[in-house]
Amino acid sequence: MDRKNFALFIGILIVMSALVQLNMSERLRDVKEGRPTVSPPFTDNDYTLSVNDNGVIVNLSDELTRQYGGIYLAVYAYDENGNYITKLKRVVDGKIVIGRDESADFMVKFDGNLVTDIGVSTSKKKFYQILDEAMKNSRNYGLGRCLLGRQGERICPVKAIILIRDDSPEGRGRIIPKINLRNGEVEGPNVCIEDGWCSSVCPTALIHIER
């Protein structure tokens, strides 16, 4: 390639790059909807949870049944090592039923309250046993919306979202997204660009748009 053609080639690349950037900016403006926010935790008025020799039964309120009928939610409990152990089950007829022979689905590990690892549970105990031990030993347990998918983190164009443990008394150790945190390290005054993509991929409305 001679010098003239090379210069023309570089010029074309510059123009194409500018057009791509312009298109991305226009797209962000098109999908910008409002600030993503995290739904509050479920309360004792939203569900009841019981464990017996047959397994686990979670009874949902009428409101939650209308909202989550046919949808998976997470029943979780903390083990003796501080790991979050969860079983994902579909809401059927206002209930979540976990049989005594069912094992946990996932185990989550932390550094502080930051989620560092999500893997298949390796516990030899059945899930109802883990939950029963958590209840008897005053460890956190409950019903949560987070299914531990990390699409919100992956789809965020400015990397302003991570998963953390909710250490508030009401949160009971649930897993939630932390929004407006860049790369999991540095809080920014307004890192989130409010494009709404994270809320669009959240299947349980744990992340929703605050209008």
C-alpha radius of gyration, the chain, whole number: 22
Say whether both 20 and 37 belong to one domain.
Answer: no
Per-residue DSSP letter, 92:
B
pLDDT at 92: 98
The answer to which of 25-34, 124-133, 142-151, 202-211 has the lowest mean pLDDT is: 25-34
pLDDT for residue 4 is more than 80:
no
Strand partners, 75: 87, 143
Question: Tokens 């020799």 correspond to what residue?
Answer: 53
Looking at per-residue confidence, does 101 or 16 come out higher?
Answer: 101
* Helices (H), ranges, 32-136: 62-68, 127-136
Q: Torsion-angle region of residue 113: left (phi > 0), alpha (psi -120 to 50) or beta?
A: alpha
Say whether both 84 and 122 belong to one domain.
Answer: yes
Most confident of 24-33, 138-147, 150-159, 188-197: 138-147
pLDDT at 159: 83
Q: Give the whole-number percent of the chain exceeding pLDDT 70.
A: 79
Say whether both 23 and 57 belong to one domain.
Answer: no
Q: Domain span at residue 23?
A: 1-31
Structure-block tokens of residue 36: 């993503």
Residues 171, 3: contact at Cβ < 8 Å? no
pLDDT at 23: 45
Indicate the residue type of 150: R
pLDDT for residue 156 is more than 50:
yes
Say whether both 108 and 55 belong to one domain.
Answer: yes
pLDDT for residue 196 is more than 90:
no
Looking at per-residue confidence, does 64 or 3 come out higher?
Answer: 64
CA angle 125, 126, 130 (to 5 degrees): 75
pLDDT at 30: 47
**What is the distance between the alpha carbons of residues 161 and 155, in angstroms, rounded to a whole number?**
9
Say whether both 77 and 27 belong to one domain.
Answer: no
Nearest to 174 by CA among 133, 131, 135, 142: 142
Question: Tokens 């890192």 correspond to what residue?
Answer: 191
Say whether both 94 and 12 belong to one domain.
Answer: no
Say whether both 20 and 50 belong to one domain.
Answer: no
The count of structural domains within the chain is: 2
Helix, strand, coil percentages for the chain (3-state, nearest 5): 25, 35, 40
**What is the distance between the alpha carbons of residues 119 and 107, in angstroms, rounded to a whole number?**
5
pLDDT in tens, 46-96: 999 999 999 999 999 999 999 999 999 999 999 999 999 999 999 999 999
Say whether both 41 and 82 belong to one domain.
Answer: yes
pLDDT for residue 12 is more than 90:
no
State CA 124 to chain mean position distance: 25
pLDDT in tens, 85-117: 999 999 999 999 999 999 999 999 999 999 999
Structure-block tokens of residue 79: 């083990």
Say whether both 102 and 2 belong to one domain.
Answer: no
The answer to which of 108-112, 169-173, 176-180, 199-203 has the lowest mean pLDDT is: 176-180
**What is the distance between the alpha carbons of residues 81 and 78, in angstroms, rounded to a whole number?**
8
Say whether both 23 and 103 belong to one domain.
Answer: no
Say whether both 195 and 210 belong to one domain.
Answer: yes
pLDDT at 130: 98
Say whether both 60 and 120 belong to one domain.
Answer: yes
Residues 146, 174: contact at Cβ < 8 Å? yes
